[in-house]
């Protein structure tokens, strides 16, 4: 069995974005901590003209 990679995570996220009408992301606005992180997925969705709604609950910290 092979472990997953950052490249595989990003590829899976891109497949998801390509099939959705709206991406809802729980994201604090920080850069990705590695390729395929939330920031990369949000950036991909925006480049693909997929509408993005960002949710970050008030008072939440990372």
Q: Is residue 12 part of a domain?
A: no
Q: Is 10:41 a contact under the CB 8 Å cutoff? A: yes
* pLDDT tens, residue by residue, 42-61: 999 999 999 999 998 787 77
Q: Would you give the end-to-end CA distance of the chain in angstroms?
A: 32
- Residue 58 belongs to what domain range? 21-62
How many domains are there within the chain? Answer: 1
| pTM score, whole prediction | 0.84
Examine residue 10 and state whether it is found in any structural domain, yes or no: no
Residue 6 lies in a domain: no
Whether 1 is in a domain gets the answer: no
* Under 8 Å between Cβ of 25 and 31: no
DSSP secondary structure string for all residues of 21-37: S-EEEE--SPPPSSTTS
Name the 3-class secondary structure at 14.
helix
* Structure confidence by residue, pLDDT tens digits, 1-49: 577 899 999 999 999 999 999 999 998 888 988 899 999 999 999 999 9
């Amino acid at each position: 069995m092979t472990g997953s990679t950052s490249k595989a995570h990003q590829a899976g996220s891109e497949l998801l974005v390509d099939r959705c009408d709206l991406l809802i992301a729980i994201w604090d606005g920080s850069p990705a901590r590695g390729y395929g992180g939330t920031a990369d997925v949000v950036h991909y969705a925006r480049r693909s003209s997929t509408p993005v709604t960002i949710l970050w609950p008030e008072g939440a910290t990372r």
